[in-house]
Chains A and B, each alone.
Chain A
Amino acid sequence: MAGGLFANEFRADAPGPGEIMRRRGRSHVGFLAGTGFVLLVVLLAVFAPWVSPSDPFTQNLDARLIDPFWAKGGDWAHPLGTDSLGRDYLTRILFGARISLTIGFGAAIISGLVGSTVGIIGGYFGGRVDAVVMYLINVKLALPGILIALSLVSVFGGSLIALIAILGFLFWDRFAVVTRSVTQQIRGQEFVTAAHAVGASHTRILLREILPNVTSHIIVIASLEMAIAILVEAVLSFLGLGIQPPTPSWGLLISEGRNFMFFKPWLIALPGLALFFLVIAINLMGDGIRDITVPEGRGR
């Protein structure tokens, strides 16, 4: 009899952290919608050569400035019409997504690596190391970021690699500030002291004990920084300092459409909307990750 009565002595049937996050994720509308849209854009961008109706660089001067299918004079050969050089606009937008996402991911990864390393090291070691880290962060915050980005782009040119590198080094400070303060909290917990007492090295404690507890914060910031990087790339390209024609970037498409703004407003509206929805979706996804990964309470 005792066996049955003691059934609930050990409650390993309670969900683990992974299962709790899965459950939360499945019922989080913002997260599901945002992630769904981002995934859709990623898939379209990856498979752009196969899904797009034509080639993004092929000009056809006989078919310039065709309207989208819903307008008068539009047809399904060019669902979203053509631009001033007769290139298929849907194709250009799909290929533009590749640029935006590459820049977004690339900049977020570089700034995440730099900022998190700096922040975690400062938060963990404290003292002089932390003073140096704080100094770096303060210097970065005092610099006019966009201005420096503009001048660097004008020096190094607007190649994709250069843009990713410049944007990456522009955005690391927020990673550093957040990971530093989170690490400071974790460092004081007894499991870190226990790892020290076991004889674990600093490297091991940083990578195996602290990092897993900071990762969710890094992912949340990364998603937000990605959205900002995509916007900044669009701005730079719009100003003619970023991606150079004929490569299709959304910022560049808007810039090229400027001349026809009053006659063919969809030239600006379509890439603008794409940018708008992608950024919103990424932000929804980031907020969702934050909600899903908040630590479980102490309760049972």
Chain B
Amino acid sequence: MTSERDTILRVRDLSVDIPVPSGTLHAVRNVDLSAIRGRTLAIVGESGCGKTMTALAVMRLLPGRARLRAREIGLEGTDLRSLSDKAFSAIRGNRMAMIFQDPMTSLNPVYPIGDQLEEIHIRHRGSGRREARERAEYLLARVGIVNPGTRLRQFPHQLSGGLRQRIMIAMALMCDPALIVADEPTTALDVTVQAQVLHLLKDLQAEFDMALILITHDLGIVARIADRIAVMYAGRIVETGSSRQIFAAPTHPYTQGLIDCIPYPGKTERRTALGSIPGIVPSLVGDAPGCMFRNRCAMAEERCRDGGNVERSVEDGHSYRCVHPVERLRGTMVPS
């Protein structure tokens, strides 16, 4: 078990509401999370499930209209909710950093890479230009970039997508953060480059002893890299557990459906129908008591309408939100 000291981030009861013309959009509802030193937490889900909003809420980067509620957002013992914007920006980029899907939009096109990396170190650490440059060169070499000195003088458009994503990772590491949040870091990359970048993230995490929150829709990545997994659907975490628990014994019907959806070379019989989840995600606008998955769920029944969000535990560290007991879910849904 992990001690209190190793829990880098603890989020309790986080909700994000966004006012829209037709009411209130509940982007995130009552989410609990914790990120442990040296471990990877993966938040998985499809578009619109609230995984990115959760990350942005933690980083205080939500769009202006969004409203955040939480009982606790604690980073290394500091309650982030009580910090002023100024105090918060001393932490963001320093103790915790974020890596985005599209590195092109998060790098400034008119400044050389080097200036952008060094500025972070100078701002947060109060270091001199020289010290910052040394740190930048070290990290660029560390993320596998040959002749870092030259690269530091280049501009973002002169680099390939894979290189830019490595630079984003180096940028996140400039101040030796305790937590890195990576939002679909490899989605825009080719498969071989994706493998390189994931290796890099994993190695650096071990080297710098960081907590990593990985946000992705790709179950393959999650299975290979995550220690713990939180499956989100329509703003809620519907199932959470260790990587082994989730993939060996998926319990929530949505998790089971998601795993059945992806072809698995060597296991799924070729050219047979894949499992699929009928229908589409319901509207997140307005109050929705009950289970949000019920309109797509094969097991839906009347009581799912209002009582669907009880959290039940399968075993230690593995829980799900569904009215049906484990025996029933396993009995009907996992024949294979």
Determine which of A8, A11, A300 lies in contact with B295 in the assembled complex, contact meaning CB atoms within 8 Å: A8
Determine which of B279, B283, B301 lies in contact with A6 in the assembled complex, contact meaning CB atoms within 8 Å: B279
Q: Please indicate the chain A residues that have their CB under 8 angstroms from the CB of B48 in the complex.
A: 300
- Give chain A interface residues in 1-35, CB to chain B under 8 Å: 1-2, 5-9, 11
Given A7-B295, A8-B283, A8-B295, A1 and B278 contact (CB-CB distance below 8 Å): no
Q: Please indicate the chain B residues that have their CB under 8 angstroms from the CB of A6 in the complex.
A: 278-279, 295-296
- Please indicate which of the listed interface residues A5, A7, A11 has the most CB atoms of chain B within 10 Å of its own CB: A5
Question: Scoring B residues 292 to 311 as 1 if CB is less than 8 Å from chain A, else 0, what string do you get?
Answer: 00111000111000000000
Q: Please indicate the chain B residues that have their CB under 8 angstroms from the CB of A11 in the complex.
A: 280
- What's the tally of chain B residues with a CB closer than 8 Å to chain A? 12
Question: Scoring B residues 28 to 50 as 1 if CB is less than 8 Å from chain A, else 0, what string do you get?
Answer: 00000000000000000000100
Residue of B nearest to A9 (CB): B279
Q: Is B282 an interface residue (CB 8 A)?
A: yes
Tell me what chain A mostly uses at the interface: helix, strand, loop, or mixed: loop
Given A6-B295, A7-B295, A8-B295, A1 and B279 contact (CB-CB distance below 8 Å): no
Tell me what chain B mostly uses at the interface: helix, strand, loop, or mixed: loop
- What's the tally of chain A residues with a CB closer than 8 Å to chain B? 9
A5 to B297 alpha-carbon distance, docked (Å): 9
Residue of B nearest to A2 (CB): B300
Asked if B280 and A9 sit within 8 Å, CB to CB, the answer is yes
Determine which of B280, B296, B301 lies in contact with A1 in the assembled complex, contact meaning CB atoms within 8 Å: B301
A288 to B326 alpha-carbon distance, docked (Å): 57
A5 to B295 alpha-carbon distance, docked (Å): 5
Q: Please indicate the chain A residues that have their CB under 8 angstroms from the CB of B294 in the complex.
A: 5
Question: Scoring A residues 109 to 137 as 1 if CB is less than 8 Å from chain B, else 0, what string do you get?
Answer: 00000000000000000000000000000
Asked if B280 and A8 sit within 8 Å, CB to CB, the answer is yes
Asked if A1 and B300 sit within 8 Å, CB to CB, the answer is yes
- Give chain B interface residues in 264-282, CB to chain A under 8 Å: 278-280, 282
- Give chain A interface residues in 63-79, CB to chain B under 8 Å: none
A7 to B279 alpha-carbon distance, docked (Å): 9
Q: Please indicate the chain B residues that have their CB under 8 angstroms from the CB of A9 in the complex.
A: 278-280, 295
Q: Please indicate the chain B residues that have their CB under 8 angstroms from the CB of A2 in the complex.
A: 300
A2 to B301 alpha-carbon distance, docked (Å): 9
Q: Please indicate the chain B residues that have their CB under 8 angstroms from the CB of A1 in the complex.
A: 300-302
Residue of B nearest to A11 (CB): B280
Question: Scoring A residues 276 to 293 as 1 if CB is less than 8 Å from chain B, else 0, what string do you get?
Answer: 000000000000000000
Q: Please indicate the chain B residues that have their CB under 8 angstroms from the CB of A7 in the complex.
A: 295
A9 to B276 alpha-carbon distance, docked (Å): 14
Q: With both chains docked as a complex, state the minimum distance between the C-beta of A116 and any C-beta of chain B, in angstroms.
A: 33
Q: Please indicate the chain A residues that have their CB under 8 angstroms from the CB of B300 in the complex.
A: 1-2, 5
Residue of A nearest to B297 (CB): A5
Q: With both chains docked as a complex, state the minimum distance between the C-beta of A149 and any C-beta of chain B, in angstroms.
A: 43
A2 to B278 alpha-carbon distance, docked (Å): 11
A8 to B48 alpha-carbon distance, docked (Å): 16
Q: With both chains docked as a complex, state the minimum distance between the C-beta of A10 and any C-beta of chain B, in angstroms.
A: 8
A2 to B279 alpha-carbon distance, docked (Å): 11
Residue of B nearest to A7 (CB): B295
Determine which of B282, B301, B302 lies in contact with A8 in the assembled complex, contact meaning CB atoms within 8 Å: B282
A1 to B295 alpha-carbon distance, docked (Å): 10
A5 to B279 alpha-carbon distance, docked (Å): 10
Q: With both chains docked as a complex, state the minimum distance between the C-beta of A27 and any C-beta of chain B, in angstroms.
A: 10
Q: With both chains docked as a complex, state the minimum distance between the C-beta of B324 and any C-beta of chain A, in angstroms.
A: 15
Q: With both chains docked as a complex, state the minimum distance between the C-beta of A4 and any C-beta of chain B, in angstroms.
A: 9
A11 to B280 alpha-carbon distance, docked (Å): 9
- Please indicate which of the listed interface residues B48, B278, B295 has the most CB atoms of chain A within 10 Å of its own CB: B295
Q: With both chains docked as a complex, state the minimum distance between the C-beta of B153 and any C-beta of chain A, in angstroms.
A: 33
Q: With both chains docked as a complex, state the minimum distance between the C-beta of A24 and any C-beta of chain B, in angstroms.
A: 11
A9 to B48 alpha-carbon distance, docked (Å): 16
A7 to B282 alpha-carbon distance, docked (Å): 10
Q: Please indicate the chain A residues that have their CB under 8 angstroms from the CB of B295 in the complex.
A: 5-9
A10 to B295 alpha-carbon distance, docked (Å): 12
Residue of B nearest to A23 (CB): B21
A1 to B305 alpha-carbon distance, docked (Å): 12
A80 to B69 alpha-carbon distance, docked (Å): 64
A61 to B325 alpha-carbon distance, docked (Å): 101
Q: With both chains docked as a complex, state the minimum distance between the C-beta of A294 and any C-beta of chain B, in angstroms.
A: 15
Question: Scoring B residues 92 to 108 as 1 if CB is less than 8 Å from chain A, else 0, what string do you get?
Answer: 00000000000000000
Q: Please indicate the chain A residues that have their CB under 8 angstroms from the CB of B296 in the complex.
A: 6
Q: Please indicate the chain A residues that have their CB under 8 angstroms from the CB of B278 in the complex.
A: 6, 9
Residue of A nearest to B21 (CB): A23
A11 to B295 alpha-carbon distance, docked (Å): 14
A260 to B95 alpha-carbon distance, docked (Å): 78
Q: With both chains docked as a complex, state the minimum distance between the C-beta of B14 and any C-beta of chain A, in angstroms.
A: 22
Q: With both chains docked as a complex, state the minimum distance between the C-beta of A158 and any C-beta of chain B, in angstroms.
A: 51
A5 to B305 alpha-carbon distance, docked (Å): 10
A173 to B189 alpha-carbon distance, docked (Å): 43
Question: Scoring A residues 33 to 55 as 1 if CB is less than 8 Å from chain B, else 0, what string do you get?
Answer: 00000000000000000000000
Q: Please indicate the chain B residues that have their CB under 8 angstroms from the CB of A300 in the complex.
A: 48, 283
> What are 7 A-B interface contacts by the 8 Å CB criterion?
A1-B301, A5-B300, A7-B295, A8-B279, A8-B282, A9-B279, A300-B48
Name B residues whose Cβ lies closer than 8 Å to a Cβ of A: 48, 278-280, 282-283, 294-296, 300-302
A-B pairs, 4 with minimum CB distance? A9-B279, A5-B295, A5-B300, A6-B279
